[in-house]
Structure 1
Amino acid sequence: MNPAAPDSFIERFKGLLEPSALMWWAATHYYRVCSEAVFQKGQVLAPIFQTSKLRDEAFGRFWIEFSRPREEAAEPVGSSALIPPLLKTSKGVVLDIGPGTGTQMPLLKGSAITTIYGAEPCTGLHSELRRKAASEGLGSKYHVLPCGVAAEELLPALGTDSPSALAAYDVDPAAGVFDTILCVRVLCSVPAMEKTTRELYSLLKPGGRLLVVEHVVNPWRTAKGSFAARVAQAVYMFLGWRFYIGDCCLDRDTEGALRQAAAVDGGWESVELERHFEWSAMPYISGVLTKKSL
């Protein structure tokens, strides 16, 4: 997609249809997994009583397949082009939220990064994630945490993997844990987003930075937004987008939640966010939010 408003009706129409191809792709994986469970494994009732497990496996397959072409592309395009210049500024102890298959790892090889923790709740992606870390020479630096981003999951997993990482935080929570937190196409699917963004803020060290590339609800009430795109988002959600795409939501006010996350300290030191593709059914925000230093 072109981040600027497209000139033709055809381009605008494609912007409305983009999510449909992704949903169809993911749905075929889900029904294939269900079919295998019933007809190959004899688990006739699995689609009813093991829905969560089947969804996890299907989404893992979909995401592996979806991400591979992006790895092979010569130059990132569309929303993917927003990611490299941002992630290359990562430094210190990094939390990579929902890393999937690790397609972002080539951007996390800078010498300014000391340690990376990848919090990935989809266990079906872990083997691919570890393989990617090894192939990029990050095997000793990249730690896979089998958890979501919620503090009640993340902190115990981090404590088990690297107890020393929490030493300062256990003494004084204001010290934080991470210098950089990466949110790339992940806040759309976390439960209790407002609570999650507040917890992420608290886990940043003073002066720490939250790097964001997220698709958001269409700002249809603004001059650059689109009412048609907002309606399309609602239609996709009704048709099962969230079910097939790993609990992803197309209609979250992620920017609002991020700005409010620092309210306890009177706001962020700085917020540098830009909007992209506001005419489409998958508009994005990208940029950096910096926590106040002590």
Structure 2
Amino acid sequence: MLPVKELKDNLFRPWFLMFWAFKLALRTIGRLIAAGDFATLFSPSALFDACFANFWGLLSPGFKDDMAPVVRPLYEGRLHDGKVVDKPVHPPVSGVVLELGAGNGSWIKEFAEIGNINTTGSDDKLRKRGGTGKPTISKIYAVEPVLQSVEVLRERIQEAGMEHVYEVVPVGVESINDPSKWDGKIEPESLDCIVTVFCLCSIPEPEKNIAALYALLKPGGRWYVYEHVRCHRSVFWIAIYQRLIEFPWKYLVGCGLANPAGPQLLNAGKWSHVDLGSPDEETPYEVIPHIGGVLTK
């Protein structure tokens, strides 16, 4: 029997998100006009960044609540074939970490707890969450190109007392090692872990830049990923529907809906172990399907 309610929810979910993106874009434009910020208003890239930051800034707490039951286990190494398992099958996120698309710092608390980082900030929810043992995360490069998000990210890092661990990289992935864009540099094969959650869908030239990130991983380094992707195991007309709404989604939500992240990651270089899959609860009627897991260089 055709799952009517599930099908209806899946078909309308992208439009619900696009409606909110459009509504918040109008609100952002109104605020810019009221503030007399015409430089942002008449710069397509700056206007896009402002709308994107406001959209995700408002909705990210809800998205985090939805994703935490999968993303937290992913960081702990408890994701196998895309499914959450009771015991770790991979090492947890550790060492020198690059978080791509750090946004507003949604996962600061998780990194503090999983990495046993002794925090000393003013945020009671984060202070000393990492305990007193030896930290297992020594550094986090937080890559975030949107200025409005960077400002909030820096505030949250400071509130958490994690300035000694975090280094904000305020550029896009394509400029990570461009000395004219920021003051730092990440050496090849210097990263123990890369973390990408809902961000590969919005990077420019994904094949090129994913391969460039791969080059930054040490041999044995791990890439933790959770992304919404192109329909790959759906009924055929769901895949067609996803492609049809790709255009409005891209311009309203700001990323690619039919994102081939799986093949792009697999083609980035040689992997000694690949453990990717889809969550248990997803069905062939998903318009926004996901993959998650760990790839080891």
| Shorter-chain TM-score range | 0.7 to 0.9
2:203 match: secondary structure: coil
On the 8 A contact 2:246/2:256 being kept in 1, the answer is yes
- Unmatched segments (≥5 aa) in structure 2: 77-91, 116-134
For residue 257 of structure 1, report the CA deviation from its aligned partner.
0.9
RMSD over aligned CA atoms reads 2.4
- Unmatched segments (≥5 aa) in structure 1: 1-5
1:210 match: secondary structure: strand
CA distance in 2, matches of 1:70, 1:251: 19
On the 8 A contact 2:169/2:182 being kept in 1, the answer is no
CA distance in 1, matches of 2:61, 2:251: 22
Instruction: Spell out, residue by residue over 1:195-235, the C-alpha distance to the aligned partner (whole angstroms, 9 max, x if none).
Output: 1111111110111000000110001xx4xx13333233223
1:15 aligns with 2:3: no
1:31 aligns with 2:26: yes
For residue 55 of structure 1, report the CA deviation from its aligned partner.
1.4
The residue type paired with residue 190 of structure 1 is I
Residue among 71, 80, 84 paired with 2:72 = 84
What is the match of residue 284 of structure 1? Answer: 290
Whose helix proportion is higher, 1 or 2? 1
Q: Where do residues 1-294 of structure 1 align in structure 2 (5 Å cutoff)?
A: 8-38=3-33, 40-41=35-36, 43=38, 49-70=42-63, 76-77=65-66, 79-88=67-76, 89-109=92-112, 110=115, 111-150=135-174, 153-156=175-178, 161-162=183-184, 166=186, 169=187, 173=188, 176-219=189-232, 222=233, 225-238=234-247, 240-246=248-254, 248-262=255-269, 267-276=270-279, 277=282, 278-291=284-297
CA distance in 2, matches of 1:160, 1:256: 30
1:211 match: secondary structure: strand
2:105 match: secondary structure: coil
Aligned length: 258
TM-score by length of 1: 0.80
For residue 142 of structure 1, report the CA deviation from its aligned partner.
1.0
CA distance in 1, matches of 2:180, 2:291: 29
TM-score by length of 2: 0.79
Aligned sequence identity (%): 32
Instruction: Spell out, residue by residue over 1:48-107, the C-alpha distance to the aligned partner (whole angstroms, 9 max, x if none).
Output: x31221111111111111113456xxxx44x44221011231100000000111111111
Distance 1:9 1:258, change over 3 A: same
